[in-house]
Amino acid sequence: MAIESINPANGKLLRCFEPLTGEAIREKIALAAEAFRDYQAVPLEHRALCMRKLAAILEEESEELATVITEEMGKPLRTARQEVLKCATGCRYYLENAARILTPESISTEASESYVRWDPLGIVLAVMPWNFPFWQVFRFIAPALMAGNVGLLKHASNVPQCAIAIESLVRRAGFLRGTFQSLLIESRHVESVLGDERIAAVTLTGSEPAGRAVAAQAGWLIKKSVLELGGSDPFIVMPSADLDAAVEVAVRARCVNNGQSCIAAKRFLVADEIYDEFESRFVAGMEAMRVGDPMKDTTDIGPLATAAIVEELAAQVQAAVQAGARVLTGGSRMVGEGNYFEPTVLAGVPRSCAVYREELFGPVAMIFRVADLDEAITLANDTSFGLGASVWTRNAAEQQRLVTELQSGAVFVNAMVASDPRLPFGGIKHSGYGRELSAAGMREFLNAKTVLVS
């Protein structure tokens, strides 16, 4: 079955690719194994030179690369540019900090010398999603390659041109042949690739079902895995919050990346004292979002990535309404060509409703009235997910409680949840395990080797 690149703004086929045969897959794995034998001995300074060249190419060709992103998955072109430049920032972070992160850690014992050194594991399989088709991959590439690992990328099937472009960028930057390769394969072939004894570890960003399948196999094979899965992030607003800032960020936090982000705010929990004003202004802000051609810089929200995603989102909204939720604005797929969905706000979604516990991957927000901080924390934690939380309060005691009691991988106080190369990124509960980015992310795929000299 062919791998197709389809423009979500108009449904037109961009390009079509034949998946790799079994023999071609085995040849790529063999090349990766050969590359690792040589690459792990390449001095860190040389890896840094290649990574600096990679960052420079990303910056120089940001417009062209952003166009590939927008045409394949529909995010506004201006945000695609930002994504490409963020990849360059990630590359620079690791080329500047790898030496510090990889420095052996001396530990005082009775021995004459004892320390921990950080050694690369080998070939890491990266199963990556379509929503940030460059950034998700580069936050794997930058630490992995600087650490001496090599990578095989199984990208989402709807962004094959992004996958090919990224492999080309790595080669042009001067990294050894085979150090990073894209595998144009269907999802059903991931099992056989991961099952190859030469694959040392796997990292996956994607859906909960995909995460379960990969984690189960990796566990059986006793291979290291890192999972970054879905989220249903709470956005908590208490009476002391700067309401102007909270509303403005709330709209952006729900609509970022056309609403298709794991860490997008999805459940808005607002204190009763300010609820009515927040709801009114939030709904107005959602209605003001400009939906349309993602190639125009005036567009805020482009099409969703696939027709199937639109259908699923519409079904979730309809199910919530049937269960008793109220539609404050939007609620429907937009008429015409392309995968467009109206910016939507749902109020009063019953806790017994299935949608209450699901992730909404599109510009649909659920808003809830809470009596106090205790109820806000209870509702925020009433989910199987635990990726990030954005909390808005100027009360120091409330801030401390929220930071301490919220069950999530990150808590952003008076700020929108976002990934940053300098900070660990990842979740708990069904949002996954392990971390990406920062020193923690680089060390996920390193052997902490204890050395003692008597």
Active site residues per annotation? 228, 262
Neighbours of 172 (CB within 10 A): 13
Whether the CB-CB separation of 131 and 305 falls below 8 Å is answered with yes
Whether the CB-CB separation of 267 and 368 falls below 8 Å is answered with yes
Order the strands of the 364-370 sheet from edge to edge: 326-329, 344-347, 364-370, 265-271, 233-237, 388-392, 410-413
- Smallest CA-to-CA distance from 337 within 289, 287, 292 is with 292
Q: Supply 40's token pair.
A: 């792990």
